[in-house]
Amino acid sequence: MKKINTNELEELTWSSPTRKFAGAGKQVSAALGRDPNSTDLMDRHPFDIEISRIEPGKTPCPYHSHSHQWEFYHVISGSGYVRHEGGKTPIVPGDAFLFKPGEAHAIGNDGDADLVYYVVADNPLNETCYYPDSGKWALGVPDDRIVRASDAESLDYFDGEE
């Protein structure tokens, strides 16, 4: 058994060039030894866990859907919303929700305090993502190549999103 304390994990932060998209997260599964590049489930783990934090007024990534990945969310503190194919739904502590493959989604913080939540994903091999707002595809996740069907060359991740 490997044990860690999530309070002691480093929080990684990220943002887009204009900071329209920004977030932070503690990579729980990585701290427990997950190797995302392995094809062996004993090393890869059957799911990935992150403790995510979003500052007020931010969303961590563009609206997207996964080809094969399931994502489970559980809100710990703060408030915000989930954008989905039916519109936007408010979220508060205790809310839990699930997106299956093919369901477009994005989470955002429209509250006054940080939004903190768990994300549990199965992270299958050969995953692709589609970004409906910009018409892009991310191929070969986790080593993304971002493309549009009409473009012959790779694009920047945030192209058409900001």
**pLDDT of 143 higher than 60:** no
Choose between 127 and 82: higher pLDDT. 82
pTM, to two decimals: 0.87
**pLDDT of 142 higher than 60:** no
Closest to 23 measured CA to CA, from 69, 64, 55: 55
In order of 4, 67, 139, 141, the CA distances from 100 in angstroms are 29, 9, 18, 17
Domains and CATH numbers, the chain: 6-125 (2.60.120.10)
For the stretch 59-109, pLDDT in tens is 999 999 999 999 999 999 999 999 999 999 999 999 999 999 999 999 999
